[in-house]
């Protein structure tokens, strides 16, 4: 079985990340929706999960999201994650949510709302995705210090909105197709 989840769907900045997970040994206790865990617990679980799962990452840049739209970006991310994992067409794939974004070649796909809470392997994908994307955003926060990416990880907070108003947008980082960003984009 392969569990799939994504992170960054609603962010104003940074990439979307879809992660596909396949269990290789016993999962650690405490796997659940990444959003319900503290950052410290998520990081600890992610380290343990790297020993008990194989992961495939499907990164989709802000530019790709703007060019293709979110639904297409999700399909691209799912295809990349499943391919990176080496998922087989006949494998069972469980996706968190209600929409199947997996390529049609995968014939045994289930979508389950809140699967990141009820299916441990989807929880594993959720945790790994959140930790991995957050680390990426903290890395770019060192270069773009005024946006608070180390705290907001690209999501729309009041600090992020203030920074956009004062300093403008970042080409290749901000999602210009998202209304809050386009409304605050300098020169618009």
Q: Does residue 50 surpass a pLDDT of 70?
A: yes
Does residue 76 fall inside a structural domain?
yes
Residue 32 to residue 141: CA distance in whole angstroms:
27
CA nearest to 128, candidates 10, 2, 14: 2
What pLDDT does residue 183 have?
A: 84
Query: What are the tens digits of pLDDT across the range 143-179?
Result: 999 999 999 999 999 999 999 989 999 999 999 999 8
Does residue 150 fall inside a structural domain?
no
| Range of the structural domain that residue 40 is part of | 2-134
What pLDDT does residue 182 have?
A: 87
pLDDT band (50, 70, 90) for residue 185: low
Does residue 72 fall inside a structural domain?
yes
What pLDDT does residue 179 have?
A: 87
What pLDDT does residue 103 have?
A: 96
Residue 182 or residue 124, greater confidence:
124
At a CB cut-off of 8 Å and minimum separation 6, what does 178 contact?
A: 12
Q: Does residue 188 surpass a pLDDT of 60?
A: no
Does residue 154 fall inside a structural domain?
no
User: What's the helix, strand, coil split of the chain in %, to 5?
Assistant: 45, 20, 35
Does residue 160 fall inside a structural domain?
no
- The owner of tokens 């994504």 is 6
Does residue 158 fall inside a structural domain?
no
Query: Percent of the chain scored above 70 by pLDDT?
Result: 98
Does residue 186 fall inside a structural domain?
no
How many domains is the chain partitioned into structurally? Answer: 1
Residue 108 to residue 80: CA distance in whole angstroms:
18
Query: What are the tens digits of pLDDT across the range 55-87?
Result: 999 999 999 999 999 999 999 999 999 999 999
CATH number, domain of 104, equals: 3.30.420.10
Question: What is the average pLDDT across 39-65?
Answer: 97
Q: Does residue 142 surpass a pLDDT of 60?
A: yes
CB 133 within 8 A of CB 140: no
Does residue 172 fall inside a structural domain?
no
Query: What are the tens digits of pLDDT across the range 7-35?
Result: 999 999 999 999 999 999 999 999 988 98
């Amino acid at each position: 079985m392969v569990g799939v989840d994504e992170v960054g769907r609603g962010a104003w900045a940074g990439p979307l990340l879809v992660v596909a997970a396949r269990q290789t040994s016993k999962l650690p206790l405490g796997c659940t929706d990444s959003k319900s865990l503290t950052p410290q617990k998520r990081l600890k679980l992610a380290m343990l999960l790297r020993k008990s799962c194989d992961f495939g990452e499907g990164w989709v840049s802000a530019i790709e999201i703007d060019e293709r739209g979110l639904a297409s970006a999700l399909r691209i991310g799912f295809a990349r994650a499943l391919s990176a994992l080496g998922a087989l067409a006949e494998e069972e794939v469980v996706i968190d949510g209600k929409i199947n974004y997996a390529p049609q070649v995968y014939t045994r796909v289930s979508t389950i709302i809140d699967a990141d809470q009820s299916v441990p392997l989807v929880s594993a994908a959720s945790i790994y995705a959140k930790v991995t994307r957050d680390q990426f955003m903290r890395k770019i926060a060192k270069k773009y210090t005024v946006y608070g990416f180390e705290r907001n990880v690209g999501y729309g907070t009041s600090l992020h909105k203030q920074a956009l108003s004062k300093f403008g947008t970042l080409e290749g980082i901000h999602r210009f197709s998202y209304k809050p960003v386009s409304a605050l984009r300098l020169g618009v």
